[in-house]
Structure 1
Amino acid sequence: MEENKELKMRCWIDIDGKKFFGPGRVQLLQMINEHGSLSKAAKEMKMSYRKAWAMVDDLNARGKTPFVTLHKGGVSGGGAELTPEAQQLLQAYSELTKDLEQAIASNHEKILGLI
């Protein structure tokens, strides 16, 4: 019987041994960028607002510069937007992910053939 083997990798960034940036935060930043709102981004991801806020707060606190600017509610309803640094990070992470996928594809048969 033929086994279904897959070669997979996950990529994230740790700072001082603690996870800082990876697929979940990438998705959150993308949703914030799309919706202009942390609340809407959290809802889209089926995540509590509190958890989404904690993730953004962690990114802003531990990063070199803030990645998300939050605007308090009021007459205009508040909102959230990505900083240019967040846009650059998303782009660089996307490029890295594509490079990793290409490396996996080109080594897939070689590695799985040994298993």
Structure 2
Amino acid sequence: MTKAKKEIRVRVWVDLDGERFFGPGRAELLQLIQDTGSISKAAKSMGMSYKKAWAMVDEMNEKAKKPYVIAQKGGQKGGGTEVTEAGKKMVDAYTRMMGRIQAIVEKDKSLLDYI
């Protein structure tokens, strides 16, 4: 019998009115949009359809106090997409919180002793 790999995984979502608003996927999407300047490129790197990525961005923009993403129409430079300051702050806050939660989990893995 091989020794089982044990791990504790934590995922956190922020709900608004009982529906998921923000979590690991949306944090990754915003970070990739920020890195690439493109919803299309961000969606592709996540293996997600462009339509789904746009729907996620639209929902975040509608429900947040301020939009998280602003899309620029094409032109001489071909347009692009920018994560706003509000979007950057949300990603940063979520990433910091997840880091603190993960540190707690790493510090106390005694639950795994009972498996």
Tell me the TM-score normalized by structure 2.
0.91
Q: CA RMSD in A?
A: 1.3
How many equivalent pairs are there?
A: 114
Identity, in percent, stands at 46
Q: 1:90 aligned to 2:91? A: yes
Q: 1:6 aligned to 2:19? A: no
- Could you tell me how far 1:78 is from its partner in structure 2? 1.2
**AA paired with 1:99?**
R
Pairwise mapping of residues 1-80 of structure 1 onto structure 2 (< 5 A)? 1=1, 2-80=3-81
Q: Which string of whole-angstrom CA distances, capped at 9 and with x for unpartnered residues, describes residues 16-70 of structure 1?
A: 1111111111111011101111112112222111111000000000111100011
**AA paired with 2:101?**
L
SS class of match (1:113): helix
**AA paired with 1:114?**
Y
Distance (whole Å) between structure 1 residues aligned to residue 64 and residue 93 of structure 2: 15
* Structure 1 unpaired stretches of 5+: none
**AA paired with 1:81?**
E
SS class of match (2:108): helix
Tell me the TM-score normalized by structure 1.
0.91
- Could you tell me how far 1:7 is from its partner in structure 2? 1.4
**AA paired with 2:17?**
D
SS class of match (2:114): coil
Off by >4 Å, runs of 4+ in structure 1: none
Distance (whole Å) between structure 1 residues aligned to residue 5 and residue 29 of structure 2: 32
SS class of match (1:6): coil
- Could you tell me how far 1:90 is from its partner in structure 2? 1.0
**AA paired with 2:106?**
A
